[in-house]
Amino acid sequence: MEWEQCLTEAGCRVTQARRAVIAVLSATDVPLSPQEILRQGAAIHPSLGLVTVYRTVALLEDLGLVQRPHHSEGCHGYLPTLPGHRHHVVCTHCGRTAQFLGGEGLDDLIARVEHGTRYRVDHHMLQFEGLCPTCQERGA
Amino acid sequence: MEWEQCLTEAGCRVTQARRAVIAVLSATDVPLSPQEILRQGAAIHPSLGLVTVYRTVALLEDLGLVQRPHHSEGCHGYLPTLPGHRHHVVCTHCGRTAQFLGGEGLDDLIARVEHGTRYRVDHHMLQFEGLCPTCQERGA
DNA sequence: GTTGGTGCAAATAATTTGCATAGCT
DNA sequence: AGCTATGCAAATTATTTGCACCAAC
């Protein structure tokens, strides 16, 4: 698992607790809350505690391995970062997500905004909400 | 003040407490937390309580008069919605924000994402972070 | 005069910290 | 062995709810 390698390279230990959190997060396409990570992680490593989940998730976020999508309703939970892909579409019905690349349409827009507002744009956050294919079929 | 008119039209009363919250929020270009709104609002209406701030802010959000920008660090606070403008650039240094329109670059991107992921995109959230003109000058 | 809104206190939920112990390397 | 990470309990912070009183319409 390359996530464990990231930990090692960062000088962090690979513990059972971290393995459990990683197993849960690396496999999800629905953003998970700390509580939910605990619930699923405890199945793998029963003594896992909520505090450790918070700490591990913060660590993984620092390492860029997970990120927190947001949307109109607030902050959603934690989701693995796919290489090169940076943005999310969140299903408003089931919470499932997909990721996609920004592309040059976004670069044009950034240039326009920099010009219009005189801000220097360093970062962007783009996220879509809608219905995933499954929920569309179910007529949600 | 047209915000008060919105309240009336929605069948809500225009109270001193709401007037105070409106006065604070309609004048800011920095996203404000409930605590901060209370602090500033209490200068106008001393008996203002935090609970009322929470309730008023939720009401204003329902009416579309304020919104909550998010960014990598989490949820930021409440900010007035400017007519027709929908997105924010948040200064990473001082928190000041500007707003801008999405434009057709975004529509193209949405069409591409809908095609690529098979999601039906209903909503989008786009936000930039960077340095505002003032903080750039100060060499932050 | 009604009814919706307020503000207090208290309940609940979310997150962080202190510390003794367990477990990587 | 040495030192990091863990997990508990408790502290802190953020948010919501119940209720008696007040004020806008």
What is the tens place of the pLDDT at every residue in B7-23?
Answer: 999 999 999 999 999 99
List of B residues 5-34 with CB within 7 A of strand C? 12-13, 15, 17-18
Q: Is the dihedral of CA B51, B53, B55, B58 positive or negative?
A: negative
Cα separation values, A95 from A25, A41, A81, B122, Å: 15, 20, 16, 14
Interatomic CA distance for residues B79 and B95, integer angstroms: 11
Interatomic CA distance for residues A30 and B123, integer angstroms: 18
Q: Is the dihedral of CA A16, A19, A21, A24 positive or negative?
A: negative
Quote the percentage of chain B above a pLDDT of 90.
54
Of the candidates A107, A60, A108, A100, the one whose C-alpha atom is nearest the C-alpha of residue A84 is A100
B75 close contact with A: CB closer than 8 A = yes
- Calculate Rg over the CA atoms of chain B: 17
Q: What is the nearest nucleotide to A17, using C1' and CA?
A: D6
* pLDDT for res A1: 64
pLDDT, averaged in runs of 10, over chain A (140 residues): 90 96 92 93 96 96 86 71 77 85 82 93 85 87
Interatomic CA distance for residues A126 and B86, integer angstroms: 13
* pLDDT for res A2: 86
Q: What is the pLDDT of residues B51-80, one digit of tens each?
A: 999 999 999 999 989 988 766 566 667 888
